[in-house]
Structure 1
């Protein structure tokens, strides 16, 4: 060993160490830059995935809302179908009511005719009770203003007693079922 070696390392060796240390720092910086680049790529991919997830969630919510609306509409349609299921039968029974009312307007003179009329009246009331149970109601027309939603005008006549557009005579009763007209009233209207 020389004196120089005893005093410490050579300048060349020190330079090599100093050169080596910055290289280590540079390597660490490069590793950090590569890691950051990967994180940025993963984050951008993550953002794409997050956008896709949000789009799928929004789509799912729309599908659920559409299904709920479909279910609600179907339930409403079924309820209406059930509510008005007897309408076709009732429409066939209404002429029977008309005939019962005509039969009741005839005056009975003999005791036998009065008994028959009492029986007809009883059947008429039972039939009306059944129809009332189905929410069938007669339309009140006489003296009311003409309404094309409830009345069918078949005649017009000049009238001193009624204002223009008022029903002066009901020729055939009209009926509603649950508020829906199943047969409009045939009426005569004042001019």
Structure 2
């Protein structure tokens, strides 16, 4: 009996040991599985994600490029328009400075000539006046027509009102100082009297 009992005890111990080894192996396997991610990453999916990212970066770079190109085109257009305006109105400063001289010539030419010497002086002044007016015309400076025209606040500066039955309402009846245009820009409005 002792031998049989010993064998049985040995067998039981071996079974317990085998069970413990299996449990240890199973626990180790579980621990290893816990340390590693359950989902394996497919190399094809990685490449597709990388391609998608590169496409987004390329699209963003294209958008930046197109915006820069549009900004540059706008800058070029603005610069061209500024140069054209500068060229178109280059004579404005000179014309503005010469207008008081023209006014003085016009007032001087309204004098009555009492003798031949005064007449020849007035003729010389008129020639100088005409050459100034012609030079300004070549640059695009023209007088604004006022008397008999309807009052335009963009071209006329009303300093008085009056009543004249020969003119309609809101019509310029007298001009105190000539106004001038440089091409399409008013460089000095006319000082006028307007009919009520």
TM range (shorter): 0.7 to 0.9
Unaligned stretches of 5+ residues in structure 1: 1-33
Q: Deviations over 1:10-32 (max 9, x none)?
A: xxxxxxxxxxxxxxxxxxxxxxx
1:95 is matched with which residue? 100
2:150 is matched with which residue? 145
Aligned partner of 2:54 among 33, 49, 56: 49
Shift of 1:120: 0.6
Q: CA RMSD in A?
A: 1.6
Aligned partner of 1:181 among 181, 186, 192: 186
Q: Deviations over 1:116-150 (max 9, x none)?
A: 11111110011001111111110011111101100
1:156 is matched with which residue? 161
SS for the counterpart of 1:188 is: strand
1:16-165 alignment runs, 5 A limit: 37-165=42-170
Point out 4+ residue stretches in structure 1 off by more than 6 angstroms.
none
Q: Deviations over 1:62-89 (max 9, x none)?
A: 1111011012112211332233233222
Write the distance in 1 (CA, Å) between the matches of 2:168 and 2:133: 32
Unaligned stretches of 5+ residues in structure 2: 1-39
**TM-score under structure 2 length normalisation:** 0.75
Larger Rg: 1 or 2?
2
**TM-score under structure 1 length normalisation:** 0.77
Write the distance in 2 (CA, Å) between the matches of 1:112 and 1:161: 39
**Which region of structure 1 is more displaced relative to structure 2, 69-78 or 129-138?**
69-78
